Amino acid sequence: MSGEPSPAPPPDGLVAVVKRSCPTSVLVVPVLADLAERAPGGLTVYSQDDPSFPDGMAVVDDTGLETSFALDLETVPTLLRFEGGAETARVVGWNREQWEGLTGVTGLGEGLPAWRPGCGSRTRDPAVAAAHATEVGLRSLVSRRVPLGAEEDDAEAAYERGWSDGLPVVPPTPERVVRMLAGTGRDPSEVVAVVPPDLVECTVEKVAVNAVLAGCRPEHLPVVLAAVEAACAEPFNMHGLLATTWFAGPVVVVGGPVARAVGMNHGINALGPGNRANATIGRAVQLVVRNVGGGRPGEIDRATLGQPGKYTACFAEDDPLDGWPLLHEERGLPAGSSGVTVFAGEAPRGVLDQLSRDPASLARSFAACLRTTTHPKMVVAFDAMLVVSPEHTRVFVEAGWSKQRLADELAGLLQVDGDDVIRGAGGIAEGLDEGFAGVTLPKFRPGGLLITRAGGRAGLFSAIIGGWASGALGSDPVTREVNP
């Protein structure tokens, strides 16, 4: 993490770093005194825990550990040589032969054992290291800090200032933001995306602030960053998705090793509540759009009814099977990678078929339900996502059907007779222009039906997530790789 001021390097010559609480440091005190007298240029001693140790010697107080952290010490005692302001040699612990080789001084430590291991540097104490990382991180933060009154409640204050989606949020204290940033190796000042609708540059730090608000853990941050990048990409058209009066919002589908690593749910209730990673990753994306980009309901967000997925909509895909690649792999990322795909989707609707044990029959059930997406007479213009449950997947796998075979079968089953979908057909005014009479049309554009897998192992139920206007008139799904 950037922002840490670099202390001046130790002076040229020999440098030793010790601590009184280390038996090996105490053991080599006579050697240090000898080097201070005999070594060309003398010796500079830094003490990590007691500025009077070693007794009777000139000591540099490093109880604040600034120099020890700058030297990235793991062990004390450590003996170093500096030349021209740069380190040229290092020995850890006590080893007579190595100390004599580094210093050029012979006869060191007569009467002492030839070798003793050192002790852990104070910089490696977990509590000390965490406190240091927080201190350094705090210096790197550039986001404006909002002081609260002594009598203000944190959660109420966040709501009153418009930082919330209507549910309570976690106050993004500087310390929490620093801990969140520890979840990624990316620089906090790096611009992740330009967020619609206000087209505001959003840095890693700003994403971290909203990830804290959403309740994420640090390990979730790389997934949130990838999802924000995808949602703000031009083809996804987040501005249009906000401004439409339709129900849709960003649905985040996560696949690959990262999903398991961060504890995401692809099983029972995968599209529902109960899993922190699923809930907070999707929520963080929504909060970035709201708080950074200005996409607030009732303002630019004009949904007629909205839907619960506009709080959060995020789930993990089930593990890949032969012939059933993960969604992000189908969309161009390498097999075995981790990726997110963001889809402009409405609330999921159920697909029930408890009797089909033949893949052709089950595919027809899926097609019949998919025909109703948006409106039975609305074709080509809207995409959809089919989430196939494990029990339904088994029907296809046991019959040797791949995901591509299912997609091809559905494409054939979802050809629509134009006579049935023109305006007035079936006594329904809604529909296509009369010029489409006598023409066969696909329900979805090529590539407009995405197929994923998730859900509990029991229940012959799958789901359809209807989309929004597709392509140039609306939104294209966008996939991004998850990187640390």
Q: Is 159 inside any structural domain? A: yes
In whole angstroms, give the CA distance from residue 45 to residue 60: 6
Nearest to 192 by CA among 270, 292, 112, 115: 292
State the residue range of the domain holding 197: 154-481
Residues 314 and 415 in one domain: yes
pLDDT at 149: 87
**Is the domain of 172 the same as that of 278?**
yes
Distance CA 480, CA 341 (A): 7
Report which of 60, 24, 25, 21 is spatially closest to residue 42, judged by C-alpha positions: 60
Residues 330 and 460 in one domain: yes
Q: Report the alpha-carbon distance of residue 162 to residue 25 in Å, rounded.
A: 56
Same domain for 165 and 76, yes or no, is: no
Tens-digit pLDDT profile for the chain (484 aa)? 444 456 788 999 999 999 999 999 999 999 999 999 999 989 999 999 999 999 999 999 999 999 999 999 999 999 999 999 999 999 999 999 999 999 999 999 999 999 999 999 999 999 898 888 888 888 888 898 888 888 899 889 999 999 999 999 999 999 999 999 999 999 999 999 999 999 999 999 999 999 999 999 999 999 999 999 999 999 999 999 999 999 999 999 999 999 999 999 999 999 999 999 999 999 999 999 999 999 999 999 999 999 999 999 999 999 999 999 999 999 999 999 999 999 999 999 999 999 999 999 999 999 999 999 999 999 999 999 999 999 999 999 999 999 999 999 999 999 999 999 999 999 999 999 999 999 999 999 999 999 999 999 999 999 999 999 998 889 999 999 999 9
What DSSP character marks residue 145? P
473 domain residue, yes or no? yes
Residue 117 and residue 66 share a domain:
yes
166 C-beta neighbours (distance < 10 Å), count: 8
Question: Is 326 found in the same domain as 437?
Answer: yes
Residue 229 lies in a domain: yes
Residue 32 lies in a domain: yes
Measuring CA to CA, which residue among 1, 452, 478 is closest to residue 221?
Answer: 1
- The pLDDT value recorded for residue 3 is 47
Q: Is residue 443 part of a domain?
A: yes
236 and 369 part of one domain: yes
Please give the distance of CA 396 from its chain centroid, rounded to a whole number: 33
Q: Is residue 137 part of a domain?
A: no
User: Looking at the DSSP assignment, which residues form a beta bridge with residue 481?
Assistant: 339
Per the CB < 8 A criterion, the answer to whether 323 and 402 are in contact is: yes
- Length of the chain (residues): 484
φ/ψ (deg, to 5) at 371 = -60, -25
Q: Given this model, what pLDDT does residue 365 score? A: 98
Both 313 and 410 in a single domain?
Answer: yes
Residue appearing with tokens 């104070």: 122
Residues 76 and 169 in one domain: no
Count of domains observed in the chain: 2
Please report whether residue 147 resides in a domain: no
Asked whether residue 302 falls in the same domain as residue 436, the answer is yes
Q: Looking at the structure, do residues 25 and 91 belong to the same domain, yes or no?
A: yes
Q: Say which amino acid occupies 162.
A: G
Q: State residue 71's pLDDT score.
A: 96
88 shares its domain with 167 = no
CATH classification of the domain holding 62: 3.40.30.10
Do the domain assignments include residue 113? yes
